[in-house]
């Protein structure tokens, strides 16, 4: 269903802290023109925890409007409230999104049975393809392979964004859930290794500032040109590293600002990135060749 380079969109902010809708529209359009196969509005990289419900819905609407007919839209609709996740997923369906990305509930620390019931409730309530977003580093909980395989039996639960950085997972999930279950990496640095273990693409932070390179890398892998794909991955590695020296999306929004794509502002509690981070991000962008 989804494959290749899929961008986890940043949400541009104006100096007063309001969402910069014009910059956001331009950013989505640039991503698609640069080869991103799909866009992910209002995920973690889009600062979904600090958006109002109205802003969240509006950003999905804009992404669908810009992308329609040109790229897929995998809308972030997760919440640690099951009822709220259902409501947001329902809106994504009505807006015309192709699928929903639903993060494992954060802070609540549900059991595996709680995770199962949460996703089943959403999948039963809304007729839209759902991707599980498993990111233990932010949500604290880690969905087990057995739980994911149980969920994969539901016709609306079609895949996973795996941000565990555990390269055994795609092999284990493929064996437990079957090859039709779509597996996407959530870690730029392991994108190609994840594909080799059974994945079909990456939901990328780096693509916000290097969309063409990320798309070329995935396309090279898809056509079997492993040497070219690896060369691009090695070229991108300093940028992958630099964009996570502080909590995302601080570094990537600073990088986008250097390209003139948008301002660097993040909403509190994310602070402006440190001077050392700025220097590392700029150096990585120069090394990759993003300014030339």
- CB atoms closer than 10 angstroms to residue 226: 13
Residues whose CB is less than 8 angstroms from the CB of residue 69 and which lie 6 or more positions away in sequence, other chains included: none
Residue 134 three-state SS = strand
State yes or no: is 161 an active-site residue.
yes
Is the CB of residue 251 less than 8 Å from the CB of residue 242? yes
Enter the tokens of residue 248: 């995302």
Distance separating alpha carbons of residues 138 and 150, to the nearest angstrom:
23
Per the residue annotation, which of 24, 119, 133, 194 is the catalytic one? 133
- CB atoms closer than 10 angstroms to residue 282: 16
Q: What angle do CA 209, 210, 214 make, to 5 degrees?
A: 140
Question: Which residues share a beta bridge with 157?
Answer: 130
185 phi, psi to nearest 5 deg: -75, 145
Give Cα 105 distance to the centre of its chain: 16
Per the residue annotation, which of 24, 119, 161, 254 is the catalytic one? 161
Tell me which residue has tokens 């259902």. Answer: 86
The alpha-helical segments, DSSP class H, found in 6-130 are 21-33, 53-67, 82-95, 112-125
Give Cα 229 distance to the centre of its chain: 20
Question: Which residues share a beta bridge with 202?
Answer: 5, 185
> Annotated catalytic sites, by residue?
133, 161
């Amino acid at each position: 269903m989804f494959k290749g380079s899929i961008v986890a969109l940043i949400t541009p902010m104006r100096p007063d802290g309001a969402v910069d809708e014009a910059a956001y529209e331009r950013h989505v359009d640039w991503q698609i023109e640069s080869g991103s196969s799909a866009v992910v509005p209002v995920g973690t990289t889009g600062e979904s925890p600090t958006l109002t419900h109205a802003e969240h819905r509006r950003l999905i609407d804009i992404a669908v409007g810009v992308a329609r007919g040109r790229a897929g839209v995998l809308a972030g609709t997760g919440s640690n409230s099951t009822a709220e996740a259902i409501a947001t997923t329902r809106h994504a369906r009505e807006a015309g999104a192709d699928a929903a990305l639903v993060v494992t509930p954060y802070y609540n620390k549900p059991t595996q049975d709680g995770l199962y019931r949460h996703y089943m409730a959403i999948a039963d309530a809304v007729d839209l393809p759902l991707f599980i977003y498993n990111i233990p580093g932010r949500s604290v909980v880690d969905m087990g392979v057995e739980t994911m395989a149980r969920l994969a039996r539901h016709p609306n639960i079609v895949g996973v964004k795996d941000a565990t950085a555990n390269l055994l997972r795609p092999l284990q999930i493929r064996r437990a859930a079957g090859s039709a279950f779509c597996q996407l990496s959530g870690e730029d640095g392991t994108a190609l290794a994840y594909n080799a273990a059974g994945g079909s693409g990456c939901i990328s932070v780096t693509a916000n500032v290097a969309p063409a390179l990320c798309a070329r890398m995935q396309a090279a892998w898809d056509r079997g040109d492993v040497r070219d794909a690896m060369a691009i991955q090695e070229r991108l590695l300093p940028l992958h590293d630099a964009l996570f020296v502080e909590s995302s999306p601080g570094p990537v929004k600073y990088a986008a600002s250097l390209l003139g794509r948008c301002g660097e502002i993040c909403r509190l509690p994310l602070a402006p990135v440190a001077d050392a981070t700025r220097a590392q991000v700029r150096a990585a962008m120069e090394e990759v060749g993003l300014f030339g």
